[in-house]
Amino acid sequence: MRYISTRGGMSQKSFSEILLSGLSPDGGLAMPEIYPKVTRAELDTWRSLSYPSLAFEILSRFADDIPADDLRNLINQTYTPEVFGSVDITPLRTLEPGLHILGLSNGPTLAFKDIAMQLLGNLFQYQLTKTGDELNILGATSGDTGSSAEYAMRGKHGIRVFMLSPLGKMSRFQTAQMFSLQDKNIFNIAIRGVFDDCQDIVKAVSNDHVFKLAHRIGTVNSINWARIVAQVVYYFKGYFAATGNNDEQVSFAVPSGNFGNICAGHVARMMGLPIKHLILATNENDVLDEFFRTGVYRPRTTAETRHTSSPSMDISKASNFERFIFDLTGRNAEQVTEFWSKVDKGNAFDLSTTPLFSRVKDYGFVSGSSSHAARIATIRDIYQRYHVLVDTHTADGLKVGQAHREAGVPLICLETALPAKFSESITEAIGCEPERPVGFENLEGLPQRYVVKDADVQAIKDYIDQQCEISA
């Protein structure tokens, strides 16, 4: 499999070559040159496979430059009941006939990002051991991504994580989850500022190409192709669990922010998985819902981006959306470049009067948005009707998913986090706190390890430099 850029300016690369990189040199995103098609016979065989075996079948088609035995070992080390709580890895819960929740949040940080990130940790370590290189991951987080990256990279050889977060701005649970890690290769940096200050520092450091190269700075952001492809697996797993045979179609409801999760659903559908609809759910930050309803993609400014009770979906633009538009245009890199020359300047593009917009439905997408009141009502309703407690993000998916539900088509709602992470909203909905999974009872009481810094680019560079010296 060769990889190309959505903007057409990258020479073809292998999976291993794009594994550690963020953006392509031309500013675009890496995409497989073609989608491998799954035959009916293959689907029939895959139906009975375990999660790791299914993951191998899918990943080996995309990561074909990693020797098969090595890839199989990496996958088997990653998807274990010890890390993900059950042999199913992503267990399916049936609320009533035809309505299901796919549990993606039973990894170490109780959010779906663990599924891809845990594999990424093992892939990175494998790759770096091969080349003898090292990697310093620099990131900014306001919640799930940072902790998921830290739990995936802790103790890994050749990798350090420098994670910036706004001092005192994350929930106590999220803060404790990150800061309680005592691993020597994990560096929590609390910044006196807001999330945007953290992100600005990451951008400034990454734009200093001399520093970046000398210190082997890398990222694990959601545009990483390996993360997308790892997420393709559970669409297949969920399909098999919710259906009796491969003639059936299903729809998936996906709580969306950066379009990473639902992009994996799009890839699964392009590979031939019988998906009727990909139901995209947003919160009040509805830039994606607006596009699928109107054909206008209008990224928001930071000032226009609202802080909501489903905070991991609070985005102003969706970084993976370019991948879908690449496919929608028939893989026309010139057109994508033209659209994103507008987006990169903060402007909108409008497909409403072009033939492209009528083609969107051929890809199975429908959408809707939710609100604080709707997600609280949904949490309460699901709890009262089925005695199942869901978190705020999953509630957005359930709310929009049920609005698009069709008779005779099983609906699978993706559970992207556990309610224990968002106890305030849960208490608002049902009047009591969610239960904590085993091992998390005393999280906030554990000793914490972090440094506090001003929002000063040079101070962060100095800190990274020092820590690399110390542990070199």
Contact status: 260 vs ligand PLP (CB under 6 A) = yes
User: Residue 148: CB partners within 8 Å, gap ≥ 6?
Assistant: 107, 109, 111, 113, 114, 117
Contact status: 222 vs ligand PLP (CB under 6 A) = yes
> Whose Cβ is closer to ligand PLP: residue 173's or residue 259's?
259
Tell me the DSSP string of 70-92: HHHHHHHHHS-HHHHSSTTSS-E
Q: Are 178 and 145 in contact (CB under 8 A)?
A: no
The number of angstroms, rounded, from the C-alpha of 110 to the middle of its chain's C-alpha atoms is 13
Per CB under 6 A, the segment of 181-189, 259-267, 326-334, 371-379 that binds ligand PLP is 259-267
Nearest residue to ligand PLP, by Cβ distance, number only: 260
Residue 279 C-beta: closest distance to ligand PLP, Å: 13
> Whose Cβ is closer to ligand PLP: residue 312's or residue 367's?
312
> Whose Cβ is closer to ligand PLP: residue 186's or residue 418's?
418
Which residue from 103, 238, 257, 419 is in contact with ligand PLP, where contact means CB under 6 A? 257
Contact status: 259 vs ligand PLP (CB under 6 A) = yes
Q: Are 222 and 319 in contact (CB under 8 A)?
A: yes
Per CB under 6 A, the segment of 115-123, 254-262, 405-413, 453-461 that binds ligand PLP is 254-262
Q: Which residue, among 199, 110, 184, 190, has the nearest Cα to 153 in the 3D structure?
A: 184
Contact status: 417 vs ligand PLP (CB under 6 A) = yes
Residue 123, Cβ neighbours under 10 Å: how many?
Answer: 24
Contact status: 109 vs ligand PLP (CB under 6 A) = no
Annotate each residue in 141-180 with x if it binds ligand PLP (CB under 6 A) or - if it does not, as one string: ---x------------------------------------
Annotate each residue in 179-198 with x if it binds ligand PLP (CB under 6 A) or - if it does not, as one string: --------------------
Q: At 403, list the tokens.
A: 């609005």
Backbone dihedral angles phi then psi of residue 163, each to the nearest 5 degrees? -115, 120
Q: How far is Cα 359 from Cα 433, in angstroms, rounded to an integer?
A: 45
Residue 261 C-beta: closest distance to ligand PLP, Å: 4
Helix (H) or strand (E) holding 453: strand 451-454
Per CB under 6 A, the segment of 133-141, 183-191, 252-260, 291-299 that binds ligand PLP is 252-260
Contact status: 90 vs ligand PLP (CB under 6 A) = no
113, 156, 399, 421: which one is catalytic?
A: 113
The number of angstroms, rounded, from the C-alpha of 318 to the middle of its chain's C-alpha atoms is 11
Question: Tokens 């370019």 map to which residue?
Answer: 322
> Whose Cβ is closer to ligand PLP: residue 440's or residue 463's?
440
Q: Which residue, among 201, 183, 172, 396, has the nearest Cα to 286 in the 3D structure?
A: 396
Strand pairing partners for 138? Answer: 162
Catalytic site includes residue 421: no
Annotate each residue in 335-374 with x if it binds ligand PLP (CB under 6 A) or - if it does not, as one string: ----------------------------------------
Q: What is the DSSP letter of 311?
A: G
Q: At 389, list the tokens.
A: 């407690």
Q: At 218, list the tokens.
A: 């890398």
Q: Are 322 and 6 in contact (CB under 8 A)?
A: yes
Residue 231 C-beta: closest distance to ligand PLP, Å: 8
User: Residue 36: CB partners within 8 Å, gap ≥ 6?
Assistant: 1, 61, 62, 271
Annotate each residue in 311-340 with x if it binds ligand PLP (CB under 6 A) or - if it does not, as one string: -xx---------------------------
Residue 453 C-beta: closest distance to ligand PLP, Å: 25
Residue 365 C-beta: closest distance to ligand PLP, Å: 13
Strand pairing partners for 260? Answer: none
Which residue from 24, 256, 283, 370 is in contact with ligand PLP, where contact means CB under 6 A? 256
Residue 197 three-state SS = helix
> Whose Cβ is closer to ligand PLP: residue 111's or residue 333's?
111
> Whose Cβ is closer to ligand PLP: residue 128's or residue 232's?
232
Contact status: 227 vs ligand PLP (CB under 6 A) = no
Contact status: 91 vs ligand PLP (CB under 6 A) = no
> Whose Cβ is closer to ligand PLP: residue 145's or residue 337's?
145
Give the binding-site size for ligand PLP (rule: CB under 6 A): 16
Which residue from 174, 416, 423, 425 is in contact with ligand PLP, where contact means CB under 6 A? 416
Q: How far is Cα 116 from Cα 204, in angstroms, rounded to an integer?
A: 27
User: Residue 105: CB partners within 8 Å, gap ≥ 6?
Assistant: 111, 112, 114, 391, 415, 416, 417, 418
Positions in 389-408 near ligand PLP (CB under 6 A): 393
Residue 199 C-beta: closest distance to ligand PLP, Å: 15
Residue 427, Cβ neighbours under 10 Å: how many?
Answer: 12
Q: How many helices (H) and strands (E) does the chain have?
A: 20, 15
User: Residue 22: CB partners within 8 Å, gap ≥ 6?
Assistant: 218, 219, 221, 223, 224
Among all residues, which ones are annotated catalytic?
A: 113
Footprint of ligand PLP on this chain (CB under 6 A)?
A: 111, 113, 144, 222, 255-261, 312-313, 393, 416-417
